[in-house]
Amino acid sequence: MSLRIRLAKPGEAALVLSFVRELAEYENLSHEVVATEAMIDAALFGPNSKTFCAFAEWTGEPIGFALWFLNFSTFRGRHGIFLEDVYVRQSHRGRGVGRALLRHLAARCVEEGFSRLEWSVLNWNENAIAFYEARGARLMSEWTLCRLDGDALDRLAKAPEDEAEAARAEV
C-alpha cells in the first residue's frame, strides 16, 4: 500500500473543486454547487484562512480529500475541527483511505489541543454512518442542524432590529 495524506497547496483549488463536485454528485446535490476555483482558492489560501484541506494520495494519485475549518466550543473553552467534507473515490473505498483521513484529523486535534472533531452525515447514507460508528463516532441525534440561507438569510439580515416595531408596522 502506498497511501499518503498531505495538505493542499496553493494552485490546487481546481483539484479541491473537482472533489467537491464528485461528492455533490454522489450525494445528489450537484445543483447546489456554486463554488468556483477562485472562491475555493481564497477560502483555503487567502490571508488569515481558517479553512484547510488534505488529499489522500494512492501511489501519487489524489483519490480522496477532507476539507475542514476550526470551530469553538464555549462549554469546553477550546477550538475543535468541523469536517465539512470527506470523500474517497469509489474505486479506492475499502482500502483504509477514509480511516486515514479521519485519523489525520484526529491526530491534528490531539496535537493542537482541540476538544473535538465533528461533522454531519446524511441520514440516508447508511454506509457512511456505519463507517463513522465503527471509528467510535456518536450520532448526535438530540441535536438538529439549523441553516439559514437564500431568501431566509436575506430577510433576517434586513429585518428591523426592533421586532415589536416591525410587527406594529405590519398592522
Q: Which residues are catalytic?
A: 132
Q: Are 20 and 85 in contact (CB under 8 A)?
A: yes
Q: DSSP of 49-100, one letter per residue?
A: --EEEEEEEETTEEEEEEEEEEEEETTTTEEEEEEEEEEE-GGGTTSSHHHH
CB atoms within 10 A of CB 136: 8
Q: What does the alpha-carbon distance between residue 49 and residue 30 come to, in Å, rounded to a whole number?
A: 26
Retrieve residue 100's grid coordinates. 486515514
Residue 16 grid cell: 479541491
Give the residue from 124, 29, 135 showing the smallest Cα distance to 83: 135
Query: Shortest CA distance to 58 belongs to which of 24, 104, 93, 19?
Result: 93
